[in-house]
């Protein structure tokens, strides 16, 4: 290449990693996302550092864990909380300083005090505001009737949220590609965040009676933290069976496939512009979604893979060999910033919490690569509730300082139904996992272990 590559990042909202065709878990059709993965690399163990929209997206802006800058939960829902300020680091700013034309479109959440133009993006389309105006002007009589469980959207596909966003994105790609130099565009879909409202033909693409039950739907909540069963009451879904949930899951599938169709339009335009061979393309999501998994909804107060595991695909023609499936543990919002900086020969700040993915992208895995992932949670609209999770290939440990801990054998119990925290045969493993978690939290200076008040829970197993 005669110049630095372009960078196209497509980020969805609340897309489960197992609801992609390439994951081969559930019958969701995502041919265009699959093609990005097949043309490069797909990560089977990508995790978000915190499965809530705002903190995850702020983490992506600066490459650091949310707790390090006070991004504990979404601003404006619970108690007041800090977020990134214009004085905080942003890798997009480094790209802009290096001569990149930059643009941001769609959901933000990166700061409650400033928009993307303060963090290195030369142009910004506020899709929530602009699409809302577009829809109100064109369809003034149309109003949604259902709540979080969703419904079909009566507007035609070309005027839906996904395809309106694709059209705006295509315009931005055309504009920035005319700059003559490298560009970076970040496109952020609201889908498939509930309520899911797909338009036809995607609204009826999946028949509820043919949607397979989530593997975790048989959840009994036996030996589980109190807050999980309380969540059923919080949402008023305690009496819903699978027949009740299936239509919502079908709409979730439909919203994903509709978004994927919009991704296809964007990728087609990239090819038409003649820039697909010189563009790094990344697809990921801020976090997953329960959508009936464990009989719950949304993503709060749990560390199940339904919500902490995310889709991640990277395509870089001529650099990343096609057809790779990576089994290493990675973080999407933490590892992508140093990876991009390294590709562009730009300095990587020492304070970043991730590490470049280049060794994995080249088909190898360093001996010192991480063998676990750590995700966190701090509470939201239904009350504050601290959780810290450590996930290895075989085990998942969830530290709930104010409730019962959780321990799952991921090989024998992939849907995390049987909490083995009290199993006498697991106590040596549990002690090791607690020590590993404590050490990791100390390294990243997590405030929950800043004092010594809770150390004994992890280091001396002083936990009920």
If you write DSSP's letter for every residue of 353-384 in order, what string do you get? SS---HHHHTT---TTS-SEEEEEEEEETTEE
pLDDT at residue 179 in the model:
86
Please name which of 357, 293, 271 lies closest in space to residue 320, comparing C-alpha atoms.
357
- Is residue 1 pLDDT above 60, yes or no? no
Query: Which pairs from 452-458 meet CB under 8 Å and 24+ separation?
Result: 454/401, 457/399, 457/401, 458/399, 458/434
Tell whether the torsion through CA atoms of 28, 32, 37 and 38 is positive or negative: positive
Q: For all residues of the chain together, what is the average pLDDT?
A: 96
Q: Give the residue ranges of DSSP H helices in 199-300.
A: 226-235, 242-272
Residue 189 in this model has a pLDDT that exceeds 60: yes
Per-residue pLDDT tens digits for 244-264? 999 999 999 999 999 999 999
Quick one: pLDDT band at residue 2, thresholds 50, 70, 90? low
pLDDT tens, 413-463?
A: 999 999 999 999 999 999 999 999 999 999 999 999 998 899 999 999 999
Surface-to-core class of residue 268, CB atoms within 10 Å of its CB (0-12 exposed, 13-18 middle, 19+ buried): middle
Q: What is the pLDDT of residue 142?
A: 87
Q: Would you kindly state where each structural domain of the chain is located, as residue ranges? A: 6-372, 374-459
Fold (CATH) for 6-372: Alkaline Phosphatase, subunit A (3.40.720)
Distant-in-sequence, close-in-space partners of 180: CB < 8 Å, separation ≥ 6: none
**Whole-structure pTM value:** 0.97
pLDDT tens column, 50-68: 999 999 999 999 999 999 9
Spatial distance between the Cα atoms of 68 and 374, rounded to a whole number of angstroms: 14
The mean per-residue pLDDT over the stretch 11-39 comes to 97
Q: What pLDDT band is residue 143 in, cutting at 50, 70 and 90?
A: confident
Q: How many residues are listed for the chain in this entry?
A: 464
- What CATH number does domain 374-459 carry, 3.30.1490.390, 3.30.1120.10, 3.40.30.10, 3.90.550.10? 3.30.1120.10
């Amino acid at each position: 290449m005669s110049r630095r590559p372009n960078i196209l990042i497509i980020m969805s909202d609340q897309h489960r990693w197992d609801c992609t065709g390439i994951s081969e878990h559930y019958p969701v059709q995502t041919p265009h996302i699959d093609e990005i993965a097949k043309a490069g690399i797909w990560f089977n163990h990508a995790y978000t550092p915190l499965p809530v929209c705002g903190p995850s997206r702020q983490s992506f802006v600066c490459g650091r864990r949310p707790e390090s800058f006070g991004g504990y939960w979404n601003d404006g829902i619970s108690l007041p909380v800090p977020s990134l300020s214009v004085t905080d680091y942003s890798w997009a700013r480094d790209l802009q300083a290096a001569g990149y034309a930059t643009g941001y479109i769609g959901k933000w959440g990166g700061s409650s005090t400033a928009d993307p133009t303060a963090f290195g993006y030369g142009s910004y389309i506020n899709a929530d505001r602009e699409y809302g105006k577009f829809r109100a002007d064109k369809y003034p009589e149309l109003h949604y009737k259902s709540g979080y469980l969703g419904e079909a959207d009566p507007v035609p596909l070309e005027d839906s949220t996904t395809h309106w966003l694709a059209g705006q994105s295509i315009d931005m790609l055309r504009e920035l590609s005319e700059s003559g130099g490298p560009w970076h565009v970040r496109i952020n879909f609201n889908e498939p965040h509930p309520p899911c409202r797909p338009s036809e033909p995607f609204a009826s693409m999946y028949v509820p009676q043919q949607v397979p039950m989530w593997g975790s739907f048989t959840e009994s909540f036996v030996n589980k933290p109190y807050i999980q069963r309380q969540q059923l009451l919080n949402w008023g879904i305690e009496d819903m069976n699978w027949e009740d949930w299936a239509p919502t899951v079908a709409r979730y599938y439909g919203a994903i496939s509709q978004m994927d169709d919009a991704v296809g339009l964007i990728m087609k335009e990239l090819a038409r512009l003649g820039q697909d061979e010189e563009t790094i393309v990344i697809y990921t999501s801020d976090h997953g979604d329960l959508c009936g998994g464990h009989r719950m909804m949304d993503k709060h107060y749990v560390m199940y893979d339904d919500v902490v595991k995310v889709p991640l695909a990277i395509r870089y023609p001529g650099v990343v060999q096609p057809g790779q499936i990576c089994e290493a543990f990675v973080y999407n919002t933490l590892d992508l910033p140093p990876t991009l900086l390294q590709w562009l020969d730009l300095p990587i700040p020492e304070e970043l919490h991730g590490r470049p993915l280049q060794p994995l992208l080249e088909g190898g895995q360093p001996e010192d690569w991480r063998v676990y992932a750590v995700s966190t949670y701090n509470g939201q609209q239904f009350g504050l509730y601290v959780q810290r999770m450590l996930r290895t290939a075989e085990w998942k440990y969830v530290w709930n300082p104010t409730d019962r801990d959780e321990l799952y054998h991921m090989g024998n119990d992939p849907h995390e139904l049987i909490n083995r925290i009290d199993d006498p045969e697991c106590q040596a493993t549990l002690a090791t996992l607690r020590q590993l978690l404590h050490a990791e939290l100390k390294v990243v200076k997590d405030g929950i272990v800043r004092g010594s008040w809770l150390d004994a829970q992890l280091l001396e197993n002083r936990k009920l």
